[in-house]
Structure 1
């Protein structure tokens, strides 16, 4: 793997998948998205998960963009433990499992070293659990995030990296969110690393044209910086 694909670089990767999916107000977990026929008990159970999702998103952005690099790994560990506490109360929340995976993957990128290898496996397990609950969660963000993992981590015998599987997963995420900033950015990054810069440029142009996500301004701004950095390489 190149330096770009090192575990240390996974902060960039998971950043990114990490702007995962939709804004909270667009999420299936949001109360506004509940069917009009939903029972009061359904709404009551959704409210804590929606609030928890918003908390994880906000704290993740703060760590990624406003916390000194030397303190990020510990901060991500604390946030991952918070995600696990939320999941204990809402174990069937695909959205919370997706974000637990994003946080664990971000921690692996911030920390590096041998411990990162176990952390990316834990992140993979979270994404797989999310997909087993709801394959369409967060507009395909679990697929995109899992595909990013397979793309970024080393392959056998060190870890589970697999570009063929990454391609399949990233394409699945793109099919669920064809105009998304994250789905197109990660697809462009993958294509560039595969030497297909012509297709990568098309994807990156779609990422640049993606509509802003309400409530995700910090994440969108960071992603657009990553888009500009990728553009300089292709």
Structure 2
């Protein structure tokens, strides 16, 4: 079941690599929106990598300015994981280890941050990263983290999708379909329409493969 992090989708780069966050804008909102662009709006791997590398720099800058904001740590971990999936190679393992450390910090200090997103992200790493001796992948830990995410956010699109994806890879087809169906019915996030659209496409694709 263990695979080196699969490409999480492709992207486009920022229009201006030198621009900072818009004045007065919440950096978290900007990061979330840029990630959706990186994730879903291009199939060019080089642009995807460039986009994510720049987003990570901006995420790190925002976190330096507000080091106790746990939401920014979660998103830095997500961005590093996404870059690992896009870039692959030996550097991917160091990126996912950095992501894991950030998510563990959030879970230790503020586990309900962003509706338990740290559990969703960490759970996905545990089932996508190779196991020992290459990486830290662990199916039991994956399921534990993903189920904890669902306890905190039972109707969320992401925890239901990632648990379904885990179940599908584990050969538990009927359960996977159940959670995918629930993910399809998740309430839309008004501030993240592009992310919801992209995730719904992934849900439909996986459902099609399982049915």
- Give the TM-score of the pair, scaled to structure 2: 0.88
Residue of structure 1 in register with 2:68 after alignment? 92
Which runs of structure 2 are paired with 1:164-183 in the superposition (5 Å)? 164-183=140-159
Question: What whole-Å deviation, never above 9, does each CA across 1:88-146 have from its counterpart, x for those lacking one?
Answer: 11111110000000000000001000010101101111111222221000111110000
Residue of structure 2 in register with 1:233 after alignment? 209
Q: Is the 8 A contact 1:94 1:131 kept in 2?
A: no
Q: Is the 8 A contact 1:76 1:107 kept in 2?
A: yes
Which residue, out of 165, 172, 193, partners 2:169?
A: 193
Aligned residues: 196
- Deviation of 1:66 after TM superposition, in Å, equals 2.1
Q: Is the 8 A contact 1:104 1:123 kept in 2?
A: yes
Which runs of structure 2 are paired with 1:85-164 in the superposition (5 Å)? 85-164=61-140
Distance 1:128 1:147, change over 3 A: same
2-structure distance, mates of 1:221, 1:78: 23
More helix by share: 1
* Structure 1 vs Structure 2 CA RMSD: 1.6
Structure 1: segments with no counterpart, 5+ residues? 16-47
2-structure distance, mates of 1:164, 1:107: 25
Q: Is the 8 A contact 1:10 1:152 kept in 2?
A: no
Residue of structure 2 in register with 1:26 after alignment? none
- Give the TM-score of the pair, scaled to structure 1: 0.80
- Deviation of 1:10 after TM superposition, in Å, equals 4.5
Question: What whole-Å deviation, never above 9, does each CA across 1:122-181 have from its counterpart, x for those lacking one?
Answer: 111111122222100011111000000001010000000000000000000010010111
Between 1:183-192 and 1:124-133, the stretch displaced more is 124-133
2-structure distance, mates of 1:93, 1:86: 9
- Deviation of 1:59 after TM superposition, in Å, equals 1.0
Say which structure, 1 or 2, has more relative contact order (CA 8 Å, 6+ apart).
1
Residue of structure 2 in register with 1:64 after alignment? 39
- Confirm whether residue 11 of structure 1 aligns to residue 8 of structure 2: yes
